[in-house]
A and B are shown apart, each in its own frame.
Chain A
Amino acid sequence: MTSISTDERLKRNSLLRRALVRPELGAIGGTAAVFAFFLILAGGTQMFALDGVINWSTVSAQFIVLAVGVSLLMIAGEFDLSLGSMVGFSGMVFGLLVIHVGIPVWVAIVLTFAVCALIGTINGVLVIRTGLPSFVVTLAFMFILRGATIWSAITFNKQPVVSGISDAAAGDPIAWLFGGKAFTGLFTWLGQQGIIETYTRGTRLGQPIVDGIPMLILWAIGLVIVGQWVLTRTKFGNWIYAAGGDPQAARNVGVPVARVKVLMFIVAAICAALLGISQAIEFGSAASDRGIMTEFEAIICVVFGGALLTGGYGSVVGAALGAVIFGVVQQGLFFTNVESSLFRVFLGTILLGAVVANTYIRRSITGER
Chain B
Amino acid sequence: MKNLSFKAVLLASLAATAAMGVVQSASAADEKYVLIHHSPDSETFWNTVKNGASLAAKEVGATVTFRNPPSGDLADMVRIIQQTTAEKPDGIIVTIPDLETVGGAIADAVAQGIPVVTMNTGTAEESKKLGALLHVGQPEYEAGKGAGERAKAEGMKSFLCVNSLFPNVAGQQRCEGFAEGLGVPLGEQMIDSGTDAAEIANRVKAYLSSHPDTSAVLTLGPMTAIPTIKALKDNGMAGDIYFATFDLNPDISQAIKDGVINFAIDQQPFLQGYLPVITLTNDLRYGVLQANSVLSGPGFVTKDNLSLVESLAGKYR
- Chain A residues, CB < 8 A from B214: none
Scan residues 47-97 of chain A and give those whose CB is less than 8 A from a CB of chain B: 47-53, 55-56, 58-59
Contact, CB under 8 Å: B98 / A334: no
Contact of A48 among B21, B66, B82, B99 (CB under 8 A): B21
Is A285 a contact of B98 with CB atoms below 8 Å?
Answer: yes
CA distance A45 to B32 in the complex (A): 13
Chain A residue total in the interface (Cβ 8 A): 55
| The stretch of A161-169, A180-188, A302-310, A350-358 that contacts the partner chain | A161-169
Q: Identify which of A35, A45, A166, A344 contacts B21 (C-beta below 8 A).
A: A45
B6 touches A293 (CB 8 A): no
CA distance A337 to B91 in the complex (A): 15
Measured CA separation A165–B46 after assembly (Å): 31
Q: Is the CB of A290 within 8 A of B73?
A: yes
| Contact indicator per residue, chain B 63-77, by CB within 8 Å of chain A (1) or not (0) | 001111011111100
Whether a CB of chain A sits under 8 angstroms from the CB of B206 is no
Judged by a CB distance under 8 angstroms, whether B203 is at the interface is no
Please give, as numbers and ranges, the residues of chain B lying within 8 Å of A289 by CB-CB distance.
71-74, 166-167
**Cβ contact within 8 Å between B98 and A163:** yes
Which residues of B in the span 38-74 have a Cβ within 8 Å of any Cβ on A? Answer: 41, 65-68, 70-74
Which of B66, B83, B88, B111 gathers most chain A CB within 10 Å? B83
Kindly count the residue-residue contacts between A and B in the assembled complex, taking CB atoms under 8 Å apart. 141
> A51-B86, A334-B84 are contacts. A163–B73 as well, Cβ < 8 Å?
no
Q: List 16 A-B contacts (CB under 8 A).
A: A35-B14, A39-B13, A39-B14, A48-B18, A55-B86, A56-B83, A154-B192, A159-B172, A161-B101, A202-B110, A283-B101, A284-B101, A290-B74, A334-B80, A340-B67, A340-B68
Instruction: Kindly identify, within residues 94 to 123 of chain B, every residue whose CB is under 8 Å from any CB belonging to chain A.
Output: 98-101, 104, 108, 110-113
Interchain nearest-CB distance for B110 vs A (Å): 7
Contact across chains for A199 and B111 when beta carbons are under 8 A apart: yes
> Are the CB atoms of A331 and B73 closer together than 8 Å?
no
Q: Is the CB of B79 closer than 8 A to any CB of chain A?
A: yes
Interface assignment of A209: CB less than 8 Å from any CB of chain B: yes
Name B230-254 residues within 8 Å CB distance of A.
none
Task: Give bound CA distance, A48 to B70, whole Å.
Answer: 24
Contact of A292 among B71, B79, B86 (CB under 8 A): B71
Specify the chain B residue showing the minimal Cβ separation from A287: B167
Q: A283-B78, A288-B166, A288-B167 are in contact. Are A201 and B113 (CB under 8 A)?
A: yes
Q: How far is the CA of A291 from the CA of B71 in the complex (A)?
A: 9
Closest to A196 in B: B22
Q: Which residues of B contact A39 (CB under 8 A)?
A: 10, 13-14, 17
Interface size in chain B (residues, C-beta < 8 A):
49
List the interface of chain A (C-beta within 8 A of B): 28, 32, 35-36, 39, 43-53, 55-56, 58-59, 150, 154, 159-161, 163-164, 166, 197, 199-204, 209, 279, 283-285, 287-293, 331, 334-335, 337, 340-341, 343-344
Whether the pair A36, B166 counts as a contact (CB closer than 8 A) is no
At the interface, yes or no: B87 with Cβ under 8 Å from chain A?
A: yes
B312 interface residue per 8 A CB criterion? no
Chain B residues, CB < 8 A from A59: 79
**Residue of chain A at shortest CB distance from B98:** A161
CA distance A131 to B152 in the complex (A): 57
Chain A min CB distance to B261 (Å) = 27
Whether a CB of chain A sits under 8 angstroms from the CB of B20 is yes
A44 touches B101 (CB 8 A): no
**Does B85 make an interface contact (CB < 8 A)?**
yes
Kindly state the separation between the CA atoms of A356 and B157 in the bound complex, as whole angstroms.
61
Q: With an 8 A cutoff between CB atoms, is B3 at the interface?
A: yes
Distance, CA A28 to CA B98, complexed state (A): 39
* Chain A residues within 8 Å of B75, by CB: 279, 283, 287, 290
Asked if B169 lies at the interface with its beta carbon under 8 angstroms from chain A, I say: yes
Contacting residues, chain B, for A199 (C-beta < 8 A): 111-113
Q: Please report the C-alpha to C-alpha distance between residue A56 and residue B68 in the assembled complex, in whole angstroms.
A: 16
What's the least CB distance linking B161 to chain A, in Å? 13
On whether the beta carbons of B79 and A331 are closer than 8 Å, the reply is yes
Please name the residue on chain A nearest to B21 by beta carbon.
Answer: A49
**Inter-chain contact B22/A35, CB cutoff 8 Å:** no
B66 neighbours in A (Cβ, 8 Å): 340
Interface contact A291-B86, CB-CB below 8 Å: no
In the bound complex, how far is the Cα of B100 from the Cα of A279, in angstroms? 12
- State whether A287 and B18 are in contact (beta carbons under 8 Å apart), knowing that A58-B79, A202-B113, A209-B112 are contacts in the complex: no
Q: Considering the chains assembled together, what is the distance between the CA atoms of A159 and B97 in angstroms?
A: 13
A209–B71 Cα distance when bound, in Å, is 29
Q: CB distance A150 to B71 under 8 Å?
A: no
Give Cα A335–Cα B71 distance, bound, in whole angstroms.
Answer: 20
Residue from B98, B113, B168 in contact with A200 in the complex, judged by beta carbons closer than 8 Å: B113
Q: Are A204 and B111 within 8 A (Cβ)?
A: yes
Q: Hey, which chain A residues are within 8 Å of B108, CB to CB?
A: 209
Interface membership of chain B positions 1-28, coded 1 if the CB is closer than 8 angstroms to chain A and 0 otherwise: 0010011001001100110111000000
Contact A43-B101, Cβ < 8 Å, known A202-B113, A204-B111, A290-B75: no
Report the bound CA distance from A161 to B97 in whole Å: 10
| Residue from the list B41, B111, B192 in contact with A341, Cβ < 8 A | B41
A32, A159, A287: the one within 8 Å of B101 (CB)? A287
Q: Which of B67, B87, B192 contacts A52 (CB 8 A)?
A: B87
B83 contacts across to A, CB distance below 8 A:
52, 55-56, 331, 334-335
- B317 to chain A: closest CB distance in Å? 23
Whole-angstrom CA separation of A168 from B113 in the bound complex: 30
Contact bitstring B168-192, A, C-beta under 8 A = 1, else 0:
1100100000000000000000001
Q: Note all chain A residues with C-beta closer than 8 A to B68.
A: 340
- Nearest B-chain residue to A199, judged by Cβ: B111
Q: How far is the CB of A42 from chain B (nearest CB, A)?
A: 9
Residues of B within 8 A of A201 (CB): 113
Evaluate contact between A48 and B14: CB separation under 8 angstroms: yes
Q: Smallest CB–CB gap between A349 and chain B, Å?
A: 16
